[in-house]
Amino acid sequence: MCEKCGLQEENYVADFKELAPVLEKYGSVQGSLITILQNAQDIYGYLSMDAINYISQQTGIKPAKIYGVATFYAQFRLQPIGKHLIMLCKGTACHVNGADLIEEAITEHLDIRDGETTEDGLFTLNNVACLGCCSLAPVMMIQSADGEETYGNLTKDSVKKVLAEIQARA
């Protein structure tokens, strides 16, 4: 069993097999590390140290360099995320229109802060720079396996209602 991700050995090996086509295509192409990491994250949901080590073995890039790239860019996650990823916009329009109050409501309702996942693994909260929906500020987007849904003109009450509805469906 993988100590970091908890997967059984057979699943652990199978998971990295899913990365093989990506490494085949980009593994020897100079400057493709970010593309490889993006694909790995798309497959596994985050970049585990085991995945980083595997990419290192297959590309010859040192794990420290891969880790450095993965930790430099905010788009990469090194921990598993919840079933629903809440992306709360903290751009200027959202900030001016109360994004901090929306974050406070999420924190109160789910007992998590930016970058944390609920104990039941249902939600992860990530504050983001801008979602590009300034006319709907304050805005949050919730990603799940079913797709993405954007919620705008939020209030503390409306965000708690959205979260409660998702919890009820889970």
Is 2 one of the annotated binding-site residues?
no
Angstrom CA distances, 41 to 19, 85, 101, stand at 10, 14, 31
Whether the Cβ atoms of residue 33 and residue 73 lie closer than 8 Å to each other: no
Is 133 one of the annotated binding-site residues?
no
Tokens of 33: 């590390």
Is 134 one of the annotated binding-site residues?
yes
CA distance 84 to 91: 21
Closest CA to 125 of 108, 5, 71, 6: 108
Indicate the pairing of strand 84-89 with strand 140-144: antiparallel
The distance from CA 99 to its chain's CA centroid, rounded to whole angstroms, is 20
Is 130 one of the annotated binding-site residues?
yes
Whether the Cβ atoms of residue 145 and residue 134 lie closer than 8 Å to each other: no
CA distance 166 to 53: 36
What residue numbers does the annotated binding site cover?
Answer: 89, 94, 130, 134
What residue numbers does the annotated binding site for [2Fe-2S] cluster cover?
Answer: 89, 94, 130, 134
